[in-house]
Structure 1
Amino acid sequence: MPLKEKLWNRNFIIACIANFLVACSFNLLMPTIPIYLSEELGVPHSEIGIVLSSYAIALLLIRPFCGYWVDVYARKPLFLLGLTVFIATFFGYYFAVTVLFLVILRFVHGMSWALATVSANTVAIDIIPASRRAEGIGFFGVNTNIAMAIAPFVAVNIYESYGFHFLISCALMMGFLSILVVIFIKVPKREKLDKTPPLSFDRFFLLKGFPIFINQLFLSFGWGTLIAFAVLYGKDTGVHNAGVFFLFLAGGIILSRVTSGKFVDKGHLHKVMVTALFVIALGFVCFALFHSIYAFCISAFIIGIGYGTLFPALQTIYINMASSSKRGTANSTYLTGFDLGIGIGMLFGAYLGDHFGFSTMYLITAGFCLFALIYYWFISRKVFEKNRVR
């Protein structure tokens, strides 16, 4: 029996630490900006959706170019560049008192986050042994989920105790630490390209993965409604510290994510995907219908298990449909699917929440997830099997 390739080497550990730190800085703001806009600036829900989705629109516009850049140029310098601009943008929040300023600021933040995340994921995949790719992706993503568990819960408490500006200072501190850590990552050398690949659409988007991309939009719609409105929904239903939602959500993600990658590597990809889609839909139904602190937490945990199972499997689908020279393109397509779906979820979710209430919005989200399950089985599954390269 051949020995397993080592996953937890020095570079992978450093990459995981860096990923955790930058994810902490990012997730400190995600649940608190809607509260700040609603409670301190008096912004209606529909305009909150515009502010939140502006960063997703920026991600959508710049992400495909990031995939091309990391396939052509050195990945670590691009990672440091994106990270540095991302952290520097936090200073703008000290002066954010109007909706327009926040829209512009979130847009700039989204552009830098796009470069940082595409390059970070691609660097991580370069470091992870090919035979343990899905498992490695799962563990790498868990660091984001641990940050997502800790940061929003802590952020709501910091915001309520010390205010928005102190929260920004905390985000800056975590960001500076992430830059220092990234400096110590050693990225495997790649063969130099004889010439720069010509610009073409398939260098920005994995064309044969388009059906999977459409499938992904219905799933990431739900993620957009969660990060934008779960805290406000909790407050409406009487949950005093609705930041606890993210604690249970991330708990479910962490529990499932560290194991689902192993099942994918063993050849059970489609079973993992179908199970994940069903569990996510079930979690949203519970979230919409049952209104108590216990139901709030249990629903978050169920949704977390579903998304935690989904993330490494879905990313592996894209990676396994691309050649190594288009690994950045595959990653950017995967991340763009979330960007677009999250943006739609924030905008359309705000409309549904304003006109029909958050409960109806989350029931509709559950319906989208069930549709995604059917679509995957009859279309996406067959597309993957036809186009996989590994």
Structure 2
Amino acid sequence: MAVANLLLTVSVYIQIPLLPVWMINNAGFSSTVVAISLGIFGLGVFSLGCFCSYLVQKYRRNLVCIRAILVLIVSFGVLYYIQRGHVFQIEGYILVPAIRFIQGAAFGLAQMVLSSTLIIDTSESFQRTEANHSSAWFSRLALSIGPLLFMFLSPIFNSSTITLISAILCLLSVCLILSVKFPFRAPADVICKVSLDRFFLPQGKWLFINLTLVTIVVGLFLASEHTITFYVMLMAGFILAMLSQRFVFVNAELKSEVITGVLLMLASCLLIYTGDKNAIIFISPVLFGCGIGIIGARFLLFFLKLSRHCQRGTSQSTFFLAWEFGISLGLFLGYYFFYEDIYNIYLVAIMILCVALLMYMTFTHKWYIRNKNR
């Protein structure tokens, strides 16, 4: 299930560097259309969430996830058709953002069912926190693997073929989900068609806002960096984050992880102003990956421990929504306001990180300590 999650997420993250390259260099779209196409994905992930609980109780939960992924595959097929040059540019202005919204909706529903239901149901009760933590790390690694895969494939294949590869990865994810048996579970006597269950945790709203601020900066970085070295070093940073959780923060004060993570991201941004190319190319993305890895892992645990009984899946979905919405918003801001203006992107990133750190130290952490349930 974790590998299925990885393949699904990689297929979506391949599109982050692919779409701007194709839309600007090949199709002649403006950076504004690119910004809308990348940003609207973050709105799409919210669109079906309120129906998630109804769908997984009304129908078999694994089939809901599979059908959502199949919609994603079809959307990649339509995008492949457009990239082959079968649609005029004026139609593309409408079609590409519409397809991206549908992709966000399908991906959001698939991920919410996968993380909030399927992965939890396949784990013993005492292993569910560990299962959520491990699965989230697979998604986090996809943030570097997806764009890196595009970088390696782009000299060999054109954009349409790489989009087809995204669809194939989704298909492999479906095969893995089909290989797992899920016992039948009788639905509740009363099923609400629209609800926040498995969708959004209202008591986690401040964690949601604080995490979104951090992930906006991730989106800004992804809007400005398109090199193999950056994503390799970003992955190295993720690995360092995993090791630090195991050896550095085992007995550390609770708030130290988030503070350290934000400070690492700030240091990464500040290195751009040193003018040292080696530091910018090699050290900056490692610090950034390590910082966001530490923050992401800690905030997921915050969401899980904030949830009440039977709200584990809802807290997982809320974390996912904050992560994806922030990245999409950062990509939108990066391409809409700061296209090819790297110094201002980093300046804005520094200001947002300062706000996120100030919010966490003065309010969010104390609020979490007062309201956590575990």
TM-score for the superposition, normalised by structure 1: 0.83
The 1-side partners of 2:123 and 2:330 are apart by 32
2:107 aligned partner, one-letter code: W
Candidates 115, 124, 127, aligned match of 2:109: 115
| CA–CA separation in structure 2 for the residues paired with 1:16 and 1:110 | 20
Rounded Cα–Cα distance in structure 1 between residues aligned with 2:179 and 2:23: 38
Question: Hey, what does 1:158 align to over in structure 2?
Answer: 153
For 1:385, the aligned partner's letter is I
Tell me whether 1:303 sits opposite 2:288 in the alignment: yes
Write the deviation string for residues 191-231 of structure 1: whole angstroms up to 9, x where unpaired.
Answer: 75343258556775322111112212211111221233322
Distance of 1:305 and 1:145 partners within structure 2: 11
Taking the TM superposition and a 5 Å limit, the aligned residue runs for 1:15-26 are 15-26=1-12
Q: What amino acid is aligned across from residue 43 of structure 1 in structure 2? A: F
Aligned partners of 1:273 and 1:313 also within 8 Å = yes
- Going from structure 1 to structure 2, the CA distance change for 1:139 and 1:103 (only over 3 Å counts) comes to same
Q: CA deviation at 1:64?
A: 4.5
Trace 1:172-211 onto structure 2 (pairs within 5 A): 172-187=167-182, 192-196=187-191, 199=194, 204-211=199-206
1:343 matched to 2:328? The reply is yes
2:237 to 252, 258, 268: 252
- Indicate the larger mover: 219-228 or 65-74: 65-74
Structure 1 range deviating more: 254-263 or 42-51: 254-263
TM-superposed deviation, 1:43:
2.3
Is 1:278–2:263 an aligned residue pair? yes
* Cα pair 2:120 2:313 within 8 Å, conserved: no
Describe the shift of the 1:384–1:47 C-alpha distance in structure 2 as closer, same or farther (beyond 3 A): same
Matched with 1:90 is 76
Q: CA deviation at 1:269?
A: 3.5
Q: Which residue of 1 aligns with 2:89?
A: none
Pick from 210, 214, 236 the counterpart of residue 215 of structure 1: 210
Distance 1:203 1:25 in 2: 23
- 2 CA distance for matches of 1:191 and 1:315? 29
Q: Structure 1: which amino acid aligns with 2:93? A: V
C-alpha deviation, 1:283, in angstroms: 1.5
- The 2-side partners of 1:36 and 1:293 are apart by 29
Decide whether aligned partners of structure 1 residues 136 and 383 sit closer, same or farther in structure 2, where only a CA change above 3 A counts. same
Give, in whole Å, the separation in 2 of the partners of 1:321 and 1:179: 32
- Cα-to-partner distance string for 1:168-206 (whole Å, 9 max, x where unaligned): 222222221111011122457767534325855677532
Separation of aligned partners in 1, 2:57 and 2:12: 25
2:52–2:198 CA contact under 8 A, matched in 1? no
- The answer to whether the Cα contact below 8 Å between 2:57 and 2:187 also exists between their aligned partners in 1 is no
Q: Any gaps of 5 or more consecutive residues in structure 1?
A: 1-14, 232-241
Q: Which amino acid counterpart does residue 111 of structure 1 have in structure 2?
A: A
| Match of residue 372, structure 1, among 342, 353, 356 | 356
Structure 1 counterpart of 2:61, which letter?
R
> RMSD of the TM alignment (CA)?
2.9
The number of residue pairs the alignment matches comes to 365
CA distance in 2, matches of 1:366, 1:182: 40
Are positions 1:137 and 2:136 aligned together? no
CA distance in 2, matches of 1:95, 1:205: 35
Is 2:199 the partner of 1:224?
no
**Please, which of 25, 29, 51 is the counterpart of residue 39 of structure 1?**
25
Deviation at 1:321, TM superposition (A): 1.3
Partner residue in 2 for 1:56: 42
* One-letter identity of the residue aligned with 2:161: F
3-state secondary structure, aligned to 1:162: coil
Indicate which of 4, 22, 30 corresponds to 2:16: 30
Q: Which residue identity is paired with 1:284?
A: C
Structure 2 unaligned regions, length at least 5: 84-91
Match of 2:88?
Answer: none
Q: TM-score, normalised by structure 2?
A: 0.86
CA 327–135 in structure 1, closer or farther in 2 if over 3 Å, else same: closer
AA of the residue aligned to 1:95 = Y
d(CA) in 1 for partners of 2:249, 2:120: 16
Identity of aligned residues (%): 22
- Partner of 1:385 in structure 2? 369
C-alpha deviations, 1:304-357, integer Å up to 9, x for none? 001111112111111211124223322222222223322332222224314x92
Aligned to 1:5: none
Offset at residue 72 of structure 1 (A): 7.8
* C-alpha deviation, 1:266, in angstroms: 6.3
1:269 to 1:128, Cα distance in 2 relative to 1, 3 A: farther
Instruction: Please name the residue that 1:326 is paired with.
Output: 311
Say whether the 8 Å CA contact 1:60–1:339 is kept in structure 2: no
